[in-house]
């Protein structure tokens, strides 16, 4: 057995093994996307906390994150947060349900009938352009300052997004689909059920998401009108006592609940519109 000479050894090279498909070099490792997304919020919270401790942000302007977290935990333990949250959810769900029903019925009447459009559309458009704040004194004179006034104001705000979008969806059905349905001999009821309503369903979900956002905005306002419970009542009461920590907690709850319910609607939309050819699954 002979060893390679020094001249031959100079030309010996070691080839690195080829990487298997899908494998990465250790030096190319990158943090996951959600970690990168959390960097900036955490940096903001850190700067916020340091600014509060150094006295740059007084508590009367905004409370420190540590103080907000402590107040939130105290409200959870005492049950104060849960009690007021249930009251707000009851108002929002009841008002949104009534607004959706009224909007859907009005859109079906106006969208499926020219005569229905002549009767309903003009009054609804006039009512839609009236600011809700302008109706508050009148509603208080009519219905008092009880729960009915709060529900009515939220219903007024949530009805029109559903009505307008569903009406546009019904009138925007492809005429070729209507012609094909008539060729197949579908009755008017079958045409509405199998062609018109499925075709208008995407527009309905758009209106539903808009109505959800408006319902939360209206809820913040109405819960400050002679209320004794609710997230809006907590925020109003905290304003009188300059409790910025409680105000921030109420704002966070509104935003998180809105995001959660919007996610539920998107999930429902995902399953309800899975039949569309243009629907992209994620």
pLDDT, residue 243, reads: 82
Q: What is the mean pLDDT of the chain?
A: 78
Buried-state track 59-75, b at ≥16 Cβ within 10 A, e below 16: eeebbbbebbeebbeeb
Phi first, then psi, for residue 17 (nearest 5°) are: -65, 140
Whether the per-residue pLDDT at 36 is higher than 80: the answer is no
CB 233 within 8 A of CB 88: no
DSSP 8-state class, residue 193? I
What is the secondary structure of 23-49 as a DSSP string? Answer: ---GGG----HHHHHHHHHHHHHHHHH
Length of the chain, in residues: 282
Domains and CATH numbers, the chain: 68-272 (1.10.3720.10)
pLDDT score at 282: 45
The pLDDT assigned to 9 comes to 47
User: What number of other Cβ atoms are within 10 A of residue 130's Cβ?
Assistant: 11
Q: Give pLDDT tens digits for 201-236.
A: 888 888 888 888 888 888 888 887 777 788 888 888
């Amino acid at each position: 057995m002979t060893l390679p000479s020094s001249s031959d050894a100079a030309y010996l090279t070691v080839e690195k093994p080829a990487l298997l498909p899908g494998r990465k070099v250790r030096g190319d490792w990158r943090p996951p996307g959600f970690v990168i997304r959390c960097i900036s919020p955490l940096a903001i919270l850190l700067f916020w906390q340091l600014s509060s401790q150094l006295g740059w942000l007084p508590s009367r302007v905004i409370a420190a994150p540590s103080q907000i977290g402590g107040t939130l935990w105290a409200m959870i333990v005492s049950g104060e947060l849960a009690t007021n949250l249930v009251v707000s959810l009851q108002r929002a769900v009841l008002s949104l349900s009534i607004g959706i029903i009224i909007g859907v019925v009005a859109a079906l009447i106006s969208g499926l009938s020219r005569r229905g459009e002549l009767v309903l559309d003009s009054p609804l458009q006039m009512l839609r352009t009236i600011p809700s704040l302008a109706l508050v004194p009148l509603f208080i004179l009519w219905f008092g300052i009880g729960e009915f006034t709060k529900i009515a104001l939220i219903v007024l705000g949530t009805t029109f997004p559903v009505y307008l979008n569903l009406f546009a969806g019904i009138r925007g059905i492809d005429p070729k689909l209507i012609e094909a349905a008539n060729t197949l001999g579908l009755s008017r009821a079958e045409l509405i059920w199998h062609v018109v309503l499925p075709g208008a369903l995407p527009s309905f979900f758009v209106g539903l998401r808009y109505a959800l956002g408006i319902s939360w905005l209206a809820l913040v306002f109405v819960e400050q009108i002679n209320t004794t419970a609710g997230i809006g009542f907590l925020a109003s009461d905290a304003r009188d006592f300059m409790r910025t920590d409680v105000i921030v907690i109420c704002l966070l709850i509104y935003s998180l609940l809105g995001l959660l319910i919007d996610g539920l609607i998107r999930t429902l939309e995902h399953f309800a519109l899975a039949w569309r050819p243009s629907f992209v699954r994620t």
